Structure 1
């Protein structure tokens, strides 16, 4: 969705403060397809991906993405876009003109079906972006005003409380509209064999609809459901497998600016197990289509901490997301309503992401939901920086050095991953990390064998991190 007045970046990081109730924890969890256990998601912006901006042109990138290790391809909305009240020259992907039609800008329905088939042959799963809260103004459904929210004069209105003038708000009290929406969702699963949905503005649609939709889709095939939401935890009770990790995203941005740090991220990670219904988890990201276009690139927001925060998203509980072009070091904001091709001349970040994906795939402790290990914090005690001789200097140095270090481990079965990160722009001269599960580990990414004891002495440069796996 267009990230404007309700943008994620405006949210507070305290959205996870309320744990799920015992009653919610006992509700039937949505089934998690086995292929999602260790999956990494990749968001595809077809319009900006290639010069042609078509399904066929994108197909040429499938071998590269497969080699990188990507599991799930999330396609931004592929539907035809309304012309009425359009923003820009090409319009918003989220102003749907026809839920059963393909945007001719991208190709034909047969082109998309061929793309899904090829993706499946290569081992990918395909998730479609679904816009259930609103339609474009040219959508044939507007012939039925009672399918929409209307004002006192009976005029269809845009979603209340937003400035999304290019879309019309749907009325979920109308059973005919709900039936048509569900029929359209089933259509892409039955006719195109897609593997699930990323639900745009999921909180703007009644939870009961999503629960019914999930039940009906499961009758066709196992699906994966991602909610663009972090406010309504009940969406994860019976409808969705994961939601948006905006709390972590915001903490990353604040930490990079020195406004937050390791202690806040530690508290966030400790809350995950209590907050999320069993088996569900957040989507971890440093960028996506909204954040890139409306808030800024990861380089604008994170600066020198880009790689550190990307790595953090792979090692904390949750499914990692890579946005189109991040593996090419995308350092510009892509236009949302007009053509703005991603530059692919520099793929220097591709190996970095490939190594992170391999780390996740190879270590069950980092897998998703019940298949992975829980976050277990490690104790960190700072040493004394050289040259600090006075008691006051020692106290100040210890206090300062303690704050930047985030240390934890995750264990699943016989697999353990230990993570130690300096989440600051200052070097940590000396620190002690204790409570580690001792043993022979492989360092990341070199795979060098390291004998790690229960207590480890470390020194870290700004934003430096250590990852060990056994």
Structure 2
């Protein structure tokens, strides 16, 4: 949109007016307005988890911002920023799990930057990443490229430097001695997050302060929603109180780091984690379970969730990469098949920083590290899958998702086979998750296009197919 400004010079005298040249009309570009978060966008969306610290050698907002137009090539529609807030110094975690303050060597101690999830201020940005102006430039660039930005919000706890520790100790969980505690399990034993202090949601003033801080980022900074850390550990009635107020502020996208179906009801969260789906893919890829586990998973999803619930599918994320292993470590030769599965099964696929560049090491969590930036095998695969996800209705995965039908095969323990359909579009996924070539029949017929090769194929009922070990194909109807 363009704004036209006419500048008029006003003189103090007639002669002055006659002598002053008239200024010409000036055209000023105003920032592009992005459409509000909407159901249509969610059908085709791909979400990208940005680890600002590790994304670049600089580890800054500005370094990430430069690459946002590149992410558009992958079909990314939502950027989830890992926590961008200042990190507490007190009880700051170091590699290995100890507190950084216990490291005697000053140079080594300075390397320990702590956990993003030990927040000291919910309304400021981590100076490690840049300034708030830098963040605003990131947000504008995302919006200019038709991408939404959600912040990783940490509602369950704060760092030990947070202003609430001093000014509002009543906001925190206390032990029998009246001391603020770190998060505890139901049996009273520590969860293992000693670098953070547990919040007590029985305090109504805490709830109001938390909601106010979330509203700030919506109304003052223009972000588009939140990914809420350990959302299931926060009382459900807090979300019932908070999310309607957030939605009254603007249209938002809400992602829960949780699996509980109740968090998706009554217009609360838009999407939850497909934890069961992730564990299923790990188990099949490693040989712990066979291909039939996929059919069992789809049946469980259809039982546990409603038709308009959205689950986030992922082969990696910040926790999985740092603590449980790289995609290659966990999925081996089935890594590509599982990546394609995360795009083709119902839900919204996630790309984690570095995945697009074949990241093959565990990123350090409490100190500086970086991802590779060379496009090799994964970039063209994600680009192709992104094109399918955004253009083919059979991969709609939002509140009006395409249907899924399990296809019967003669080798159900080795072959994952299903069809997705919506309107005129059909998509078929077949994968041999074993390490050996498999010949099988599948109840499928018609004329299709092999999306990986571009070749047209005609399939007949009871026709034999052969897939190499760990090979997959994606067919779409003509």
Q: TM-score range by the shorter chain?
A: 0.7 to 0.9
Q: How many residues align?
A: 417
Q: Is the 8 A contact 1:410 1:416 kept in 2?
A: yes
Q: Is the 8 A contact 2:65 2:137 kept in 1?
A: no
Shift of 1:374: 2.1
Distance 1:454 1:413 in 2: 23
- Matched with 1:151 is 175
- Matched with 1:48 is 54
- Matched with 2:422 is 412
Distance 2:285 2:409 in 1: 21
Which of 142, 147, 170 is residue 119 of structure 1 equivalent to? Answer: 142
1:371 is paired with a residue whose SS is: coil
- Matched with 2:238 is 209
1:52-98 residue CA offsets vs partner (Å, 9 max, x unmatched): 11111111111211122211111000001100000121010000000
Which of 422, 427, 433 is residue 423 of structure 1 equivalent to? Answer: 433
Distance 1:48 1:148 in 2: 31
Shift of 1:256: 1.9
Which ranges of structure 2 fall in alignment gaps of 5 or more residues?
1-36, 95-111, 186-190
- Matched with 1:169 is 198
Shift of 1:278: 2.9
2:123 is paired with a residue whose SS is: strand
1:1-49 residue CA offsets vs partner (Å, 9 max, x unmatched): xxxxxxxxxxxxxxxxxxxxxxxxxxxxxx9643212100110000001
- Matched with 1:378 is 407
- Matched with 2:457 is 450
Which of 219, 239, 251 is residue 248 of structure 2 equivalent to? Answer: 219
Shift of 1:277: 2.2
1:282 pairs with 2:320: no
Which of 62, 72, 81 is residue 66 of structure 1 equivalent to? Answer: 72
Distance 1:115 1:291 in 2: 26
1:433 pairs with 2:433: no
- Matched with 1:362 is 391
Q: Is the 8 A contact 2:427 2:476 kept in 1?
A: yes
Distance 1:372-1:442 versus aligned 2 partners, 3 A rule: farther
Q: Is the 8 A contact 2:291 2:416 kept in 1?
A: yes
TM-score, normalized by length of structure 2? 0.85
Q: Is the 8 A contact 1:53 1:105 kept in 2?
A: yes
1:105 pairs with 2:133: no
- Matched with 1:192 is 221
Matches within 5 A, 1:91-102: 91-102=114-125
- Matched with 1:390 is none
Distance 1:454 1:193 in 2: 54
Which of 163, 187, 195 is residue 140 of structure 1 equivalent to? Answer: 163
Distance 1:456-1:243 versus aligned 2 partners, 3 A rule: farther
Distance 2:400 2:458 in 1: 27
Shift of 1:213: 2.0
Q: Is the 8 A contact 2:446 2:458 kept in 1?
A: yes
Distance 1:300 1:294 in 2: 12
Q: Is the 8 A contact 2:45 2:75 kept in 1?
A: no
Distance 1:325-1:226 versus aligned 2 partners, 3 A rule: same
Distance 2:447 2:374 in 1: 40
2:321 is paired with a residue whose SS is: helix
1:356-394 residue CA offsets vs partner (Å, 9 max, x unmatched): 11111121111113332122111112xxxxxxxxxxxxx
1:331 pairs with 2:341: no
Moved more, 445-454 or 100-109: 445-454
Distance 1:444 1:194 in 2: 36
Which ranges of structure 1 fall in alignment gaps of 5 or more residues?
1-30, 382-400
Matches within 5 A, 1:188-337: 188-230=217-259, 232-238=260-266, 239-337=268-366
Distance 1:346-1:67 versus aligned 2 partners, 3 A rule: closer
Aligned alpha-carbon RMSD (Å): 1.4
1:97 is paired with a residue whose SS is: coil
Shift of 1:455: 4.2
Shift of 1:347: 3.6
1:467 pairs with 2:477: no
- Matched with 1:398 is none
2:250 is paired with a residue whose SS is: coil
TM-score, normalized by length of structure 1? 0.86
Distance 1:412 1:447 in 2: 21
Q: Is the 8 A contact 1:318 1:368 kept in 2?
A: yes
Distance 1:193 1:177 in 2: 23
Bigger Rg, which one: 2
